[in-house]
Amino acid sequence: MKRNVFLSEYSVRGIKTIDQTVSLSFYKKTISSPLNRREYNIKGIYGMNGSGKSGIVTSADILRNLLLNAGYLNNPIVQKNLDAIINKKTNELYIGAEFFIESEENVIPFYYEVTLSKDVSGKYTISHEQLVSKRTSGRKEISEIIFEVINGELVTVSKKWDGGFSRIMEQKTINLLSYATISALFYEKILMPSRNDQLIDGSFLFWGLFVLFCLGKNIYAYLDQSDEHEDYFIRNIIRRIDRFEEDNILVDSETATLLKNFYEADNDYLNTISAAGNIVPKRWYGFYQKTIIKLRDFLRIFKPDLHDIEIAKKEDHDDYICSLVMVYDSYKVNVEFESTGIKKLVRLYAYLKEMVQGGIVFIDEFDSNLHDVYLCALLEYLMEYGEGQLCFTTHNVGPMDVLKRNKKSIDFLSLDHKIYPWKTNGNYSPSRLYKNGMIEGSPFNVDSIDFIGVFDIDEGDE
């Protein structure tokens, strides 16, 4: 299912080992409508250990939470995590995203950036946030600031087509913008409340905040170690997302069409699947069952002897707490006791499904616990049928010869945190050049003789 958001560039600075800006380019400079998604929908990031690959995916997870969760920075667990992963040299985290909103008639580019810095109390707050709309007039690019926040104060706000909405947002966000993005507050204060009398006038600010919220809602980041409190929050968003339509909030026709498209994209609602502890609202249980049937079909590709997946559920007020049980010929086993590879495929399925249906998906260490043959087959399918985008980190050189068929599909991240995009070089294979240390910034100058002596037993150890 095609969605309307497409990421064209992503930048990050100040996370883990990344102490200077790393920018990933996903699309060509020339923008035309409709977007040529299929040739630009996959990117693999390669780099030596410690180059910062995982930091890029982690930052995407942080961006999603900042854009959707108004209470994210008020969570002490989040603050402790940020203190551990934000680079000690920069002492701040910068994330920038250039993205397109594609309508029936044209493609509109936006640029969003947010910076987290420590305040006097030692907590990370939003020191800067800005959304800019870009358009081309003749040969000239025109940028228009939709809003800008500096140290918790809304210093610039667009009054274009304004019918009083800018004043509403100023009132509803006062004293809140240090610990919550204006996008998350827009969701919490405007989209989520049940108010039948609320009128949205279709102002430029409303439309900009809505597309920014949609960017956050369409980003998914897979990390092997994820925080359960984040998954819980996302589930709560999805459970209440349909209330906008139920509350009969009035919007202009163009915005109403965008709302309908984005909300319909969440009919299956499931962002993540785990072996146990899936909290499923009773009203969504039918969708959950259908998703697990598709998960079974997916896993059968890897395990042909799998007959079925049963759902073991316990009632909890308006929810079911669900666990998954794998059914084979003569036995059943809870997914928790399956191999690491199968458990990873269970979790990966929902993310890959989001990518196929139009989501923007980041996956860290896509290749771990996956056989090279399966990984390459998956990538070929996603390149051909995926409506969204996939950006993943990997050490496996096997997929390089698959990826090279697409444009902007291979980036090399050096130890000094510079990006070197793959460029076609005659008949040379990117995997061969990479392994031979011939990619700039990736000198694999390790030889077998370098290990001589490091495993010997010293006399004092005998």
CATH number, domain containing residue 116: 3.40.50.300
CB contact set of 389 (below 8 Å; sequence gap of 6+): 6, 7, 26, 37, 40, 41, 42, 43, 355, 359, 360, 361
| Burial class for 60, CB neighbours closer than 10 Å (0-12, 13-18, 19+) | buried
Q: Which residues contact 43 (CB under 8 A, 6 or more apart)?
A: 24, 26, 389, 390, 391, 392, 408, 409, 410, 411
3-class secondary-structure state, position 284: helix
CA atoms within 13 A on the CB side of 293: 7
Contact 6, 16 (CB under 8 A): no
Q: Is 206 among the domain residues?
A: yes
- Specify the pLDDT at position 243: 42
Distance (Å, whole) CA 292 – CA 349? 10
Q: Is residue 457 part of a domain?
A: no
Looking at the domain assignment, is residue 338 inside a domain? no
Task: Give the pLDDT confidence of 399-440 residue by residue, as tens digits.
Answer: 998 998 888 999 999 888 889 898 776 667 888 878 777 777
Kindly list the distances between the CA atom of residue 324 and the CA atoms of 4, 182, 306, 313, in Å, as whole numbers in the listed order. 33, 38, 13, 9
76 within 8 A of 83, measured Cβ to Cβ: no
Q: Say if residue 223 is exposed, middle or buried (CB neighbours under 10 Å; 0-12, 13-18, 19+).
A: middle
Q: Which residues of the chain have pLDDT under 50?
A: 1, 194-197, 199, 226-270
Question: Does any domain span residue 303?
Answer: no
CB contact at 8 A, 355 and 390: yes
How far are the Cα atoms of 141, 156, 237 from residue 207, in angstroms, in the given order? 20, 16, 20
Q: What is the pTM of this model?
A: 0.86
* Distance, CA of 170 to CA of 168 (rounded, Å): 5
Domain containing residue 385: 5-267+357-445
pLDDT of residue 105: 74
Task: Let me know if residue 282 belongs to a domain.
Answer: no
CA separation for the pair 237, 233 (Å, rounded): 6
* Number of domains the chain is built from: 1
Evaluate whether 309 touches 291 at the Cβ level (below 8 Å): no
Contact 61, 221 (CB under 8 A): yes
Tell me whether residue 200 is in a domain. Answer: yes
Q: What per-residue confidence (pLDDT) applies to 3? A: 66
d(CA 150, CA 347): 38
- Residue 427 in any domain: the answer is yes
pLDDT at 360: 96
Place of tokens 């163009």: 254
Query: What is the spatial distance between Cα 156 and Cα 148, in angstroms, rounded to a whole number?
Result: 5
96 is a domain residue: yes
pLDDT tens sequence across 441-455 = 777 767 788 888 888
pLDDT of residue 377: 93
207/257 Cα distance (integer angstroms): 12
